[in-house]
Structure 1
Amino acid sequence: MSAQCEVTGRRAAGDAMGTFERYLSVWVALAIMAGIALGKFFPDIFEWLSGLEVASVNLVVAVLIWAMVYPMMINVDFSSLRHAGDKPKGLTITLVINWLIKPFTMAGLGVLFFQGFFAGLVPPDDAKAYIAGMILLGAAPCTAMVFVWSQLTDGDATYTLVQVAINDLIMVFAFAPLVALLLGVADVIVPWQTLLLSVGLYVVIPLLAGAFTRRRLLGSGGEQAVERFTGRIKPVTIIGLVVTVLLLFAFQGERILTQPLIIVLIAIPLIIQSVGIFGLAYLWARGWNVPIGIGAPAALIGTSNFFELAVAVAISLFGLNSGAALATVVGVLVEVPVMLALVKLVNGSRGWYECRMASGIST
């Protein structure tokens, strides 16, 4: 690996990050603290906001996620979609990690920690409930937020869409039997309304809006017009992310303050799972010479979770106040800070990753 290659990669990563984005971890930390405080002192307001939902999908959060996803959808080149299958390595990584590895490692970590390391800290029945919640998270790969993580790492927008679309299609058929297998529950009821509504809100609608916007921009000024417009609205993604974090922590502020130990115990294996799955997929992508614009989203899809689906199924199977529901909620709280750290890792390691691609090894 040459020094020139490393410097160039670092410079490219730095140029891609705006001033506001460079301090994103600071804004998120402030949003977490503000969310917990606001949820504590103004519980009625956030209880009302959390109740604005359809099929377990919070409409306020849905609007914010839509605002985050829309800018990336403008970059989707529909003419390139038919060529997405020409580079199957990224899809292979995504599908193997999401469906053959992640659900089973999540279940294994749940058993290891709650029936092993933490056995003396929680009652056995509670431990089983927490494990069940973790399994539900592990079997529900991300649908919406991965577009945000992909955008923050300069991922290939078109290929990310293909990865998510195929993942969603498999989830329709594989989620229920996989959960039934790992939980030992025969009658898993998939909340189809939640699943379909989430895909519609987070994928279909912003995709159509992005396609319409892109067509208008290309007609008026070509690719340069697209780049200028997406550059201007890129802060919308960051602002939407920060406000989403604030709301999520405000919704659960009381739980965090009243059950801090349980929150920490559940968070530990979830964090280990996220970092481990990301590391496996990211190293696999680099070792397999997958371009980082495809490899990074492939790794981030496997790491992130479809928390709306996991929460909805946990509530329907075990009840609103169950340990399983609590575990899925902790998954929501843990995910954003962990994913932001991994996004930072991707951007910081871009030079290291791309130098392998530049070394003359065949792809």
Structure 2
Amino acid sequence: MSADGEVVDRLSTLDRFLPLWIGLAMAGGLLLGRTVPGIDDALSAVEVGGVSLPIAVGLLVMMYPVLAKVRYDRLDTVTADRRLLVASLALNWLVGPALMFALAWTMLPDLPAYRTGLIIVGLARCIAMVIIWNDLACGDREAAAVLVALNSVFQVVAFAGLGWFYLEALPRLLGLDGAALDISAWEIAASVLVFLGVPLLLGWLSRTYGERVRGREWYESAFLPRVGPWALIGLLFTIVVLFALQGEQVTDRPLDVARIALPLLVYFALMWGGGFVLGRLLGMSYARTTTLAFTAAGNNFELAIAVAIATFGVTSGQALAGVVGPLIEVPVLVALVYVSLALRDRFPHPDTDPVPSVQESAR
């Protein structure tokens, strides 16, 4: 049996039908947003780091179990892999923003608000859901933690400057219409601190003190299987709330959503494919190649939406483009999880990668 077939056979019912549950969560969120009066105001009444409190809770619940599974004593093997670190930084901060800029201007030349929103999405690099996709595809969990943390630091430092470059300076240089982006480094740092720092700290504390008090065998065979399913539960909850908040905008403008979706589809496919090919050319293992691909393709949609809303308004075209981001990213990257698993046999020693999948850890 192929490696991907073996993994699929071991999935729980929740994991096996993940695309179905995600589809139902998206549809349920859109339905709630259309049929329950005032739900968007209620869900956005309290914010954490510029993001609705229910979404913030869902993201934290989603990320904690995966980060609790990380073997923090193995992180030095990742930080020593300079090929991986340099490749990730190049894909995320050189290729990704430039590709999204080119796609936005090529495919949406007549829609400046949506174009600006897509460029903001391209600037908001991986932080949250990418950890889930990486685990589902049996990627290197420790590498994912390091790359997400590394790119988050660059996000704090580079986001505002790259926003100015791609939205103002470069369009002006090329004789195009630009847009202004007003976002402070502190706002970005707050988002990173909440959505990465908190679950990362909790995951490290769980692993460190759980193993110290009860031992590694208890931690991995008893504790992790109990908390593991909450990652996907948190993911589904986040999707429901996200689409409930923006359901009316999405369903009222289907043609606009389709226009925004096309460059996003091309973007996710090219970034993931480029990362996968690059990892293979650099001679990386399946697990690290997969991690490189997903961290290149994933985006920090919560930051992109927060920036678009704060700068242009909740009903703006820029905000709608940010919302369509996860609408396309979620099903596309779920599909790419299965593509990754199907390609696993193409690697010389696919079963020697040291990191088990999220489902294997939760058996």
Matched, 1:24 2:18: yes
Could you tell me how far 1:327 is from its partner in structure 2?
1.1
SS in 2 for 1:349: helix
2:48 and 2:56 in contact (8 A); partners too: no
Instruction: Please state how far the C-alpha of 1:42 moved relative to its aligned partner.
Output: 0.6
1:213 aligned to 2:197? no
How far apart, in 1, do the equivalents of 2:252 and 2:98 lie?
31
CA distance, structure 2, for counterparts of residue 209 and residue 168 of structure 1: 17
**TM-score scaled by length of structure 1:** 0.87
Indicate whether 1:286 and 2:277 are aligned. no
The verdict on how the C-alpha distance between 1:265 and 1:351 changes in structure 2, with shifts beyond 3 A counting, is same
Tell me, in whole angstroms, the C-alpha distance in 2 between the residues paired with 1:327 and 1:187: 16
Q: Which residue does the alignment assign to 1:85?
A: 79
Q: What is the CA-CA distance between 1:357 and the residue it aligns to?
A: 9.2
Contact 1:130/1:323 (<8 A) preserved: yes
Are residues 1:57 and 2:51 paired? yes
State whether structure 2 residue 125 is matched by structure 1 residue 103: no
Given the alignment of the two structures, is residue 182 of structure 1 paired with residue 175 of structure 2, yes or no? no
- Contact 1:16/1:154 (8 A) holds in 2: no
Match of 2:3 among 9, 13, 30: 9
Closer/same/farther in 2, CA of residues 312 and 34 from structure 1, 3 Å limit: closer
Task: Give the 3 Å change call, closer, same or farther, for CA 282–141 of structure 1 in structure 2.
Answer: same
In structure 2, distance between residues paired with 1:25 and 1:169: 32
8 Å Cα contact 2:160/2:185 also seen in 1? no
Question: 2:202 & 2:9 partners in 1: Cα distance?
Answer: 28
Preserved contact between residue 71 and residue 230 of structure 1 (Cα < 8 Å):
yes
TM-score under structure 2 normalisation? 0.87
Amino acid at match of 2:340: V
Q: Distance in 1 between matches of 2:34 and 2:315?
A: 19
The CA distance in 2 between the partners of 1:232 and 1:349, in whole Å, is 30
Residue in structure 2 matched with residue 143 of structure 1 by the alignment = 127
Looking at structure 2, the residues matched to 143 and 10 of structure 1 have their Cα atoms a distance apart, in angstroms, of: 26
Which runs of structure 1 show a deviation greater than 4 angstroms over 4 or more consecutive aligned residues? Answer: 354-358
Superposed counterparts of 1:194-273, under 5 Å: 194-228=187-221, 229-273=223-267
Q: Give 1:132's match in structure 2, choosing from 81, 98, 116.
A: 116
In 2: Cα distance, 1:78 partner to 1:28 partner: 30
Partner of 1:154: helix, strand, or coil? coil
**Preserved contact between residue 97 and residue 302 of structure 1 (Cα < 8 Å):** yes
Structure 2 unmatched ranges of 5 or more: 170-178, 353-363
- Partner amino acid, structure 2, of 1:264: A
| Greater CA drift, 217-226 or 276-285 | 217-226
1:299-338 counterparts in 2 under 5 A? 299-338=293-332
CA separation of 1:203/1:86 partners in 2, compared to 1, >3 Å: closer, same or farther?
Answer: same
Q: 1:340 to 1:132 in 2, by over 3 A?
A: same
Q: Distance in 2 between matches of 1:14 and 1:239?
A: 19
The 2-side partners of 1:176 and 1:16 are apart by 44
Q: Could you tell me whether the CA contact under 8 Å between 2:70 and 2:142 is conserved in 1?
A: yes
Q: Indicate conservation of the 8 Å contact 2:304/2:322, yes or no.
A: yes
Which consecutive residues of structure 1, in runs of 5 or more, have no partner in the other structure? 1-6, 116-123, 359-363
Partner of 1:121: none
Aligned to 2:358: none
Give the counterpart letter for 1:177 in structure 2: G
Once the 2 structures are TM-superposed, how far is the Cα of residue 15 of structure 1 from its aligned partner? 5.1
Q: Distance in 1 between matches of 2:311 and 2:138?
A: 38
Tell me the alpha carbon deviations over residues 96-140 of structure 1, each in whole angstroms, 9 at most, x when there is no partner.
11111111111111111122xxxxxxxx3xx12211111111111
Q: Against the structure 1 CA distance between its residues 21 and 356, is the aligned structure 2 distance closer, same or farther, given a 3 Å change threshold?
A: closer
Aligned residue for 1:274, secondary structure, equals helix
Q: CA RMSD in A?
A: 2.2
Aligned-partner Cα distance in 2 for 1:303–1:266:
17
Measured in 2, the distance between the counterparts of 1:188 and 1:114 equals 19
Deviates more, 1:54-63 or 1:212-221: 212-221
The one-letter amino acid paired with 1:258 is D
Question: How far off its partner does 1:221 sit?
Answer: 4.3
Provide the residue aligned with 2:136 in structure 1. 152
SS of corresponding position for 1:328: helix
